[in-house]
Amino acid sequence: MKVLLLVALCALIQGSYATLVITGPTQPVLEGDTVTLECQFTDSELNISQVRFEVFSKYMQGWHDVYERSWCFYSMMIEQTADSLFLTIPRAGRYFEGPYRCVSDAENVTAPDNASKPLGFKVHYMGELLMSREGYTSYLGVPQELRVQLGEDVALTCSASSSEEPNFFWMKEGSDWVLPSPKLTLKKVTAMDQGQYTCMAKHSVESLSKKRTISITVLPENAPWYESSNGRLILMTSAAAMAIMVFILSVTVFLCRRAKQIKTSKGPIDDRSQKKPIYRASVESLNSTSADKQPLV
């Protein structure tokens, strides 16, 4: 009987404490959106001034206080009302995802009852759609019009920095096929393969989906090799390499000539051949002495 009374008393004491609740966005958060978090007690009569926000650091593996900040895009604002505490992030980024929680500093409440349940949110984003060609450096990208020689193999790949792995699709203008893959491969292209090709990257948030279109032109069989995109790239690379070599050679010749001039030049004074200087006072003294020694007539 005593045990039951003790349990009931503990439950009554536990139930007398109001819990902290943190609420946040209910819609998908896009990069750059404004996000507001709110802390409240289930009992509005409790003092909200003793409540603060904390954020969990994945790198430090611990909870840390949230302070107001205003550094470029890394900004946070905290506002307190009569019964709520608000945390506003003007421009959400992937480094703001949290999780966050509310913590009370009231003396009569101890952990874990002094903290709300953690709340996190996903920041959705997708960068520019990039396209690369197999066998070629990805730094130069792929031109808007890709000119290829007849019988050449073409392999294109789409990619994008995204909050989640997007679904990629390839389509050709005027055709009814859809290729569900980030990679498009055309073997031994013919005139039938040329046209407008579109790569689409689909995100779960429809507004973030992107696409890019490229034109593939198949050159005639007798077309010069330098008319293809590959040939133009080789010419451009060769010209750049030649310009660098000419510049290095010119600088080398200039430095060699400069070093030779410095080595052969003796300067305005040659210490080995210079005679001792004769000062004007010494010459005048010598003339006066000679005059004193002349015989009287």
Please tell me whether residue 192 adopts helix, strand or coil conformation: helix
pLDDT in tens, 89-145: 999 988 899 899 999 988 776 667 789 999 999 999 999 999 998 877 656 678 888
Range of weakest confidence among 5-14, 60-69, 186-195: 5-14
DSSP-derived letter for residue 206 is G
For the CA atoms of the chain, what is the radius of gyration? Answer: 41
Q: Which domains does the chain have, with CATH numbers?
A: 16-124 (2.60.40.10), 130-225 (2.60.40.10)
Mean pLDDT rounded to a whole number for the chain: 78
The percent of residues in the chain predicted with pLDDT above 70, rounded, is 70
8 A C-beta contact, residue 183 and residue 157: yes
8 A C-beta contact, residue 106 and residue 115: no
CA-CA distance, 107 to 142, in Å (whole number)?
Answer: 64
pLDDT at 138: 59
Give the pLDDT mean for 246-254. 76
8 A C-beta contact, residue 28 and residue 40: no
Read off φ and ψ for residue 276, nearest 5 degrees: -65, 140
8 A C-beta contact, residue 85 and residue 51: yes
pLDDT at 215: 92
Give the pLDDT mean for 249-277. 65
pLDDT in tens, 2-55: 333 333 333 333 444 568 899 999 899 999 999 999 999 887 667 788 899 999
Q: How many residues does the chain have?
A: 297
For the cut 60, the answer to whether the pLDDT of residue 70 exceeds it is yes
Please indicate whether residue 22 or residue 239 has the higher confidence score (pLDDT).
22
Give the pLDDT mean for 242-254. 74
Please tell me whether residue 205 adopts helix, strand or coil conformation: coil
8 A C-beta contact, residue 212 and residue 202: no
8 A C-beta contact, residue 156 and residue 171: no
Read off φ and ψ for residue 3, nearest 5 degrees: -65, -40
CA-CA distance, 228 to 147, in Å (whole number)?
Answer: 5
CA-CA distance, 88 to 85, in Å (whole number)?
Answer: 10
Please indicate whether residue 45 or residue 84 has the higher confidence score (pLDDT).
84
Q: Give the bridge partners for 14, in sequence order.
A: none
Give the model's confidence band at 283: pLDDT under 50 very low, under 70 low, under 90 confident, else very high: low
CA-CA distance, 36 to 76, in Å (whole number)?
Answer: 10
CA-CA distance, 55 to 99, in Å (whole number)?
Answer: 6
pLDDT at 289: 54
Give the pLDDT mean for 178-201. 94
Q: How far is CA 117 from the centre of its chain?
A: 33
Q: What DSSP string runs through 145-160? A: EEEE-TT--EEEEEE-
Per the structure block, which two tokens stand in for 240? 């750049």
